[in-house]
Amino acid sequence: TLFKNLIVLGAAFFLLLGALIFMFITAQRERELAERQAGFLANVTHELKTPLAVMQAAGENLADGRVDNKERLKAYGNHIHSESIRLRKMIEKLLDVAKADTNQSLIELQPVHLNTQLQKYIEEHAEFIKEKGFTLETSISDDVDIVMIDTDSFETIIGNLMENAIKYSGDEKYIGISLEQKGSKVELRVKDRGLGIPKKSMKHIFEKFYRAEDVLTANTKGHGLGLSIVKNLVEQNGGEISVRSEENKGSCFTIRFPVAHESDIEEYYLSNPV
Ligand code: ADP
Protein backbone atom coordinates (compact mmCIF):
# COMPACT_ATOMS: atom_id res chain seq x y z
CA THR A 1 0.00 0.00 0.00
CA LEU A 2 2.96 2.28 0.54
CA PHE A 3 3.72 1.88 -3.14
CA LYS A 4 0.10 2.62 -4.00
CA ASN A 5 0.09 5.70 -1.81
CA LEU A 6 3.29 6.88 -3.40
CA ILE A 7 1.74 6.56 -6.85
CA VAL A 8 -1.35 8.47 -5.79
CA LEU A 9 0.81 11.14 -4.17
CA GLY A 10 3.00 11.34 -7.27
CA ALA A 11 -0.02 11.62 -9.53
CA ALA A 12 -1.50 14.32 -7.34
CA PHE A 13 1.79 16.17 -7.36
CA PHE A 14 2.04 16.12 -11.14
CA LEU A 15 -1.59 17.12 -11.48
CA LEU A 16 -0.98 20.07 -9.19
CA LEU A 17 2.20 20.96 -11.03
CA GLY A 18 0.33 20.77 -14.35
CA ALA A 19 -2.45 22.99 -13.04
CA LEU A 20 0.07 25.51 -11.73
CA ILE A 21 1.95 25.60 -15.05
CA PHE A 22 -1.34 25.98 -16.89
CA MET A 23 -2.40 28.85 -14.63
CA PHE A 24 0.98 30.49 -15.05
CA ILE A 25 0.82 30.30 -18.85
CA THR A 26 -2.76 31.59 -18.91
CA ALA A 27 -1.85 34.52 -16.67
CA GLN A 28 1.18 35.27 -18.84
CA ARG A 29 -0.99 35.21 -21.97
CA GLU A 30 -3.52 37.53 -20.40
CA ARG A 31 -0.80 39.92 -19.33
CA GLU A 32 0.63 39.94 -22.86
CA LEU A 33 -2.78 40.63 -24.34
CA ALA A 34 -3.43 43.42 -21.84
CA GLU A 35 -0.06 44.97 -22.69
CA ARG A 36 -0.76 44.77 -26.39
CA GLN A 37 -4.21 46.23 -25.84
CA ALA A 38 -2.80 49.17 -23.88
CA GLY A 39 -0.21 49.79 -26.60
CA PHE A 40 -2.94 49.61 -29.19
CA LEU A 41 -5.07 52.16 -27.39
CA ALA A 42 -2.16 54.57 -27.12
CA ASN A 43 -1.41 54.10 -30.82
CA VAL A 44 -4.99 54.48 -31.93
CA THR A 45 -5.48 57.57 -29.83
CA HIS A 46 -2.41 59.07 -31.43
CA GLU A 47 -3.40 58.03 -34.92
CA LEU A 48 -6.93 59.33 -34.62
CA LYS A 49 -5.79 62.61 -33.17
CA THR A 50 -3.04 63.36 -35.68
CA PRO A 51 -5.18 63.52 -38.83
CA LEU A 52 -7.86 65.36 -36.91
CA ALA A 53 -5.38 67.98 -35.75
CA VAL A 54 -4.09 68.43 -39.31
CA MET A 55 -7.60 68.80 -40.69
CA GLN A 56 -8.60 71.18 -37.91
CA ALA A 57 -5.61 73.43 -38.51
CA ALA A 58 -6.06 73.38 -42.28
CA GLY A 59 -9.78 74.09 -41.90
CA GLU A 60 -9.12 76.99 -39.54
CA ASN A 61 -6.64 78.62 -41.87
CA LEU A 62 -8.98 78.22 -44.81
CA ALA A 63 -11.92 79.62 -42.88
CA ASP A 64 -9.85 82.62 -41.79
CA GLY A 65 -9.28 83.46 -45.42
CA ARG A 66 -5.55 83.60 -44.76
CA VAL A 67 -4.74 81.21 -47.56
CA ASP A 68 -4.93 83.26 -50.73
CA ASN A 69 -2.27 81.65 -52.84
CA LYS A 70 -3.68 79.08 -55.29
CA GLU A 71 -0.90 76.53 -54.79
CA ARG A 72 -1.26 76.62 -51.03
CA LEU A 73 -5.00 76.35 -51.32
CA LYS A 74 -4.51 73.19 -53.33
CA ALA A 75 -2.01 71.84 -50.81
CA TYR A 76 -4.49 72.42 -47.99
CA GLY A 77 -7.18 70.62 -49.95
CA ASN A 78 -4.89 67.67 -50.57
CA HIS A 79 -3.95 67.54 -46.92
CA ILE A 80 -7.51 67.44 -45.74
CA HIS A 81 -8.38 64.86 -48.37
CA SER A 82 -5.55 62.42 -47.58
CA GLU A 83 -5.90 62.79 -43.82
CA SER A 84 -9.62 62.13 -43.96
CA ILE A 85 -8.97 58.96 -45.96
CA ARG A 86 -6.52 57.82 -43.30
CA LEU A 87 -9.04 58.53 -40.63
CA ARG A 88 -11.79 56.69 -42.44
CA LYS A 89 -9.66 53.58 -42.91
CA MET A 90 -8.73 53.59 -39.27
CA ILE A 91 -12.32 53.90 -38.16
CA GLU A 92 -13.45 51.18 -40.55
CA LYS A 93 -10.88 48.79 -39.12
CA LEU A 94 -11.93 49.58 -35.58
CA LEU A 95 -15.55 48.96 -36.49
CA ASP A 96 -14.61 45.66 -38.11
CA VAL A 97 -12.97 44.55 -34.88
CA ALA A 98 -15.85 45.71 -32.74
CA LYS A 99 -18.31 43.89 -34.98
CA ALA A 100 -16.25 40.70 -34.96
CA ASP A 101 -15.95 40.88 -31.18
CA THR A 102 -19.65 41.06 -30.63
CA ASN A 103 -20.47 38.74 -33.52
CA GLN A 104 -22.56 41.50 -34.98
CA SER A 105 -21.18 41.41 -38.46
CA LEU A 106 -24.16 40.94 -40.67
CA ILE A 107 -23.20 37.85 -42.53
CA GLU A 108 -25.53 37.26 -45.44
CA LEU A 109 -24.57 34.05 -47.11
CA GLN A 110 -25.46 33.83 -50.76
CA PRO A 111 -24.48 31.53 -53.62
CA VAL A 112 -21.37 32.96 -55.23
CA HIS A 113 -18.95 32.02 -57.98
CA LEU A 114 -15.72 33.07 -56.30
CA ASN A 115 -13.89 33.38 -59.61
CA THR A 116 -16.26 36.14 -60.75
CA GLN A 117 -16.09 37.81 -57.37
CA LEU A 118 -12.31 37.67 -57.27
CA GLN A 119 -11.95 38.85 -60.86
CA LYS A 120 -14.11 41.84 -60.01
CA TYR A 121 -12.01 42.67 -56.97
CA ILE A 122 -8.79 42.44 -58.97
CA GLU A 123 -10.13 44.59 -61.79
CA GLU A 124 -11.03 47.27 -59.26
CA HIS A 125 -7.62 47.21 -57.58
CA ALA A 126 -5.11 46.20 -60.25
CA GLU A 127 -4.35 49.77 -61.20
CA PHE A 128 -3.55 50.78 -57.63
CA ILE A 129 -1.35 47.73 -57.10
CA LYS A 130 0.60 48.35 -60.30
CA GLU A 131 0.99 52.02 -59.46
CA LYS A 132 2.72 50.91 -56.28
CA GLY A 133 5.23 49.08 -58.45
CA PHE A 134 3.94 45.55 -57.84
CA THR A 135 3.83 42.67 -60.21
CA LEU A 136 0.46 40.99 -59.89
CA GLU A 137 0.29 37.39 -61.05
CA THR A 138 -3.12 35.77 -61.14
CA SER A 139 -4.29 32.27 -61.85
CA ILE A 140 -8.04 32.08 -61.51
CA SER A 141 -9.80 28.94 -62.55
CA ASP A 142 -13.24 29.34 -64.12
CA ASP A 143 -14.04 25.82 -63.14
CA VAL A 144 -15.06 26.32 -59.53
CA ASP A 145 -18.31 25.32 -57.87
CA ILE A 146 -20.60 27.73 -56.08
CA VAL A 147 -19.89 28.54 -52.43
CA MET A 148 -22.20 30.15 -49.88
CA ILE A 149 -20.48 33.31 -48.81
CA ASP A 150 -21.07 36.88 -47.71
CA THR A 151 -19.61 39.11 -50.41
CA ASP A 152 -18.76 41.99 -48.04
CA SER A 153 -16.80 39.54 -45.87
CA PHE A 154 -14.99 38.31 -48.95
CA GLU A 155 -13.90 41.84 -49.85
CA THR A 156 -12.62 42.47 -46.33
CA ILE A 157 -10.77 39.16 -46.31
CA ILE A 158 -9.01 39.60 -49.63
CA GLY A 159 -8.47 43.32 -48.92
CA ASN A 160 -6.63 42.65 -45.67
CA LEU A 161 -4.50 39.89 -47.18
CA MET A 162 -3.52 42.11 -50.12
CA GLU A 163 -2.77 44.99 -47.80
CA ASN A 164 -0.39 42.78 -45.84
CA ALA A 165 1.22 41.38 -48.98
CA ILE A 166 1.96 44.97 -49.99
CA LYS A 167 3.01 46.15 -46.53
CA TYR A 168 5.40 43.28 -45.86
CA SER A 169 6.79 42.99 -49.38
CA GLY A 170 10.32 44.23 -48.73
CA ASP A 171 12.15 44.66 -52.02
CA GLU A 172 10.35 41.90 -53.92
CA LYS A 173 7.21 43.64 -55.01
CA TYR A 174 5.24 40.61 -56.05
CA ILE A 175 1.72 39.42 -55.33
CA GLY A 176 0.35 36.12 -56.56
CA ILE A 177 -3.33 35.31 -56.39
CA SER A 178 -4.81 31.98 -57.30
CA LEU A 179 -8.17 30.31 -57.12
CA GLU A 180 -8.92 26.69 -57.83
CA GLN A 181 -11.17 23.85 -56.90
CA LYS A 182 -9.60 21.18 -54.71
CA GLY A 183 -12.07 18.35 -54.11
CA SER A 184 -15.01 19.72 -52.17
CA LYS A 185 -13.26 23.01 -51.38
CA VAL A 186 -12.63 26.19 -53.31
CA GLU A 187 -9.14 27.34 -52.50
CA LEU A 188 -7.90 30.92 -52.59
CA ARG A 189 -4.22 31.75 -52.17
CA VAL A 190 -2.52 35.08 -51.67
CA LYS A 191 1.23 34.87 -52.01
CA ASP A 192 4.04 37.34 -51.57
CA ARG A 193 7.82 37.21 -51.80
CA GLY A 194 8.35 39.56 -48.91
CA LEU A 195 9.72 39.56 -45.39
CA GLY A 196 8.07 36.32 -44.34
CA ILE A 197 7.04 35.48 -40.80
CA PRO A 198 9.51 34.33 -38.13
CA LYS A 199 8.85 30.76 -36.95
CA LYS A 200 8.15 31.79 -33.39
CA SER A 201 5.52 34.28 -34.54
CA MET A 202 3.58 31.87 -36.73
CA LYS A 203 1.23 30.63 -34.04
CA HIS A 204 0.38 34.18 -32.92
CA ILE A 205 -0.28 36.11 -36.11
CA PHE A 206 -4.05 35.54 -36.03
CA GLU A 207 -4.27 36.84 -32.47
CA LYS A 208 -5.70 40.27 -31.90
CA PHE A 209 -3.07 43.02 -31.51
CA TYR A 210 -0.17 40.70 -32.30
CA ARG A 211 2.64 41.98 -34.50
CA ALA A 212 5.87 40.08 -35.19
CA GLU A 213 8.74 41.93 -33.61
CA ASP A 214 11.13 41.95 -36.54
CA VAL A 215 8.39 43.45 -38.67
CA LEU A 216 7.94 46.18 -36.10
CA THR A 217 11.58 47.05 -36.49
CA ALA A 218 11.16 47.01 -40.25
CA ASN A 219 9.10 50.15 -39.82
CA THR A 220 5.73 49.03 -41.03
CA LYS A 221 2.58 50.44 -39.58
CA GLY A 222 -0.27 48.44 -38.17
CA HIS A 223 -2.13 47.35 -35.09
CA GLY A 224 -2.17 43.61 -35.41
CA LEU A 225 -5.87 43.53 -36.19
CA GLY A 226 -6.10 42.64 -39.89
CA LEU A 227 -5.48 38.92 -39.61
CA SER A 228 -7.69 38.48 -36.57
CA ILE A 229 -10.51 40.08 -38.54
CA VAL A 230 -9.72 37.86 -41.54
CA LYS A 231 -9.72 34.64 -39.51
CA ASN A 232 -12.91 35.57 -37.77
CA LEU A 233 -14.70 36.33 -41.04
CA VAL A 234 -13.36 33.25 -42.82
CA GLU A 235 -14.71 31.09 -40.01
CA GLN A 236 -18.04 32.88 -39.88
CA ASN A 237 -18.33 32.11 -43.58
CA GLY A 238 -17.68 28.42 -42.94
CA GLY A 239 -14.12 28.44 -44.26
CA GLU A 240 -10.67 27.85 -42.86
CA ILE A 241 -7.38 29.69 -43.17
CA SER A 242 -3.79 28.52 -43.03
CA VAL A 243 -0.42 30.04 -43.74
CA ARG A 244 3.00 28.95 -44.87
CA SER A 245 5.87 31.32 -44.59
CA GLU A 246 9.63 31.51 -44.62
CA GLU A 247 11.63 34.45 -43.41
CA ASN A 248 13.03 36.57 -46.23
CA LYS A 249 11.32 34.32 -48.79
CA GLY A 250 7.69 35.22 -48.39
CA SER A 251 4.31 34.08 -47.20
CA CYS A 252 1.35 32.25 -48.63
CA PHE A 253 -2.09 32.50 -47.07
CA THR A 254 -4.57 29.82 -48.09
CA ILE A 255 -8.29 30.02 -47.55
CA ARG A 256 -10.66 27.15 -48.21
CA PHE A 257 -14.41 27.49 -48.51
CA PRO A 258 -16.62 24.42 -48.76
CA VAL A 259 -18.59 23.96 -51.96
CA ALA A 260 -22.25 24.83 -51.36
CA HIS A 261 -24.81 22.10 -50.84
CA GLU A 262 -27.46 21.99 -53.55
CA SER A 263 -30.14 22.32 -50.85
CA ASP A 264 -28.61 25.56 -49.49
CA ILE A 265 -28.58 27.10 -52.96
CA GLU A 266 -32.19 26.07 -53.57
CA GLU A 267 -33.25 27.38 -50.20
CA TYR A 268 -31.56 30.69 -50.92
CA TYR A 269 -33.37 31.18 -54.21
CA LEU A 270 -36.67 30.14 -52.68
CA SER A 271 -36.45 32.93 -50.12
CA ASN A 272 -34.70 35.39 -52.47
CA PRO A 273 -36.37 34.95 -55.84
CA VAL A 274 -34.52 36.68 -58.70
P1 ADP B 1 -0.81 44.37 -38.89
O2 ADP B 1 -0.45 44.15 -40.32
O3 ADP B 1 -1.62 45.59 -38.67
O4 ADP B 1 0.37 44.29 -37.98
P5 ADP B 1 -2.18 41.80 -39.03
O6 ADP B 1 -3.11 41.19 -38.06
O7 ADP B 1 -2.68 41.96 -40.42
O8 ADP B 1 -1.76 43.19 -38.41
O9 ADP B 1 -0.87 40.94 -39.07
C10 ADP B 1 -0.29 40.48 -37.86
C11 ADP B 1 1.20 40.26 -38.05
O12 ADP B 1 1.44 39.15 -38.90
C13 ADP B 1 1.92 41.42 -38.70
O14 ADP B 1 2.29 42.41 -37.79
C15 ADP B 1 3.13 40.73 -39.30
O16 ADP B 1 4.10 40.52 -38.30
C17 ADP B 1 2.58 39.38 -39.71
N18 ADP B 1 2.16 39.32 -41.13
C19 ADP B 1 0.91 39.36 -41.62
N20 ADP B 1 0.89 39.24 -42.96
C21 ADP B 1 2.19 39.11 -43.34
C22 ADP B 1 2.84 38.95 -44.61
N23 ADP B 1 2.16 38.88 -45.76
N24 ADP B 1 4.20 38.85 -44.59
C25 ADP B 1 4.90 38.92 -43.45
N26 ADP B 1 4.34 39.06 -42.23
C27 ADP B 1 3.01 39.16 -42.17
Each residue's pLDDT tens digit, 204-239: 999 888 888 776 656 788 878 889 889 988 998 999
Residue 108: predicted pLDDT: 87
Give distance in angstroms: CA of 126 to centre of ligand 1. Answer: 21
Nearest CA to ligand 1 atom 23: 165
Question: What SS3 string covers 196-262?
Answer: CCCHHHCCCCCCCCCCCHHHHHCCCCCCCCHHHHHHHHHHHCCCEEEEEEECCCEEEEEEEEEECCH
pLDDT band at residue 2 using 50, 70 and 90 as cut-offs: confident
Each residue's pLDDT tens digit, 105-136: 678 899 999 999 999 999 999 999 999 999 99
Looking at the chain, the whole-number percentage of residues with pLDDT higher than 90 is 55
Give distance in angstroms: CA of 241 to centre of ligand 1. Answer: 14
Residue 105: predicted pLDDT: 63
Residue 10: predicted pLDDT: 92
Residue 14: predicted pLDDT: 93
Residue 21: predicted pLDDT: 93
Give the global pTM: 0.77
pLDDT band at residue 199 using 50, 70 and 90 as cut-offs: very high
Nearest CA to ligand 1 atom 25: 196
Give distance in angstroms: CA of 137 to centre of ligand 1. Answer: 21
Q: Is the CB of 227 under 6 A from ligand 1?
A: yes
Q: Which tops the pLDDT comparison, 168 or 41?
A: 168
Looking at the chain, the whole-number percentage of residues with pLDDT higher than 70 is 96
ipTM above 0.95, yes or no: yes
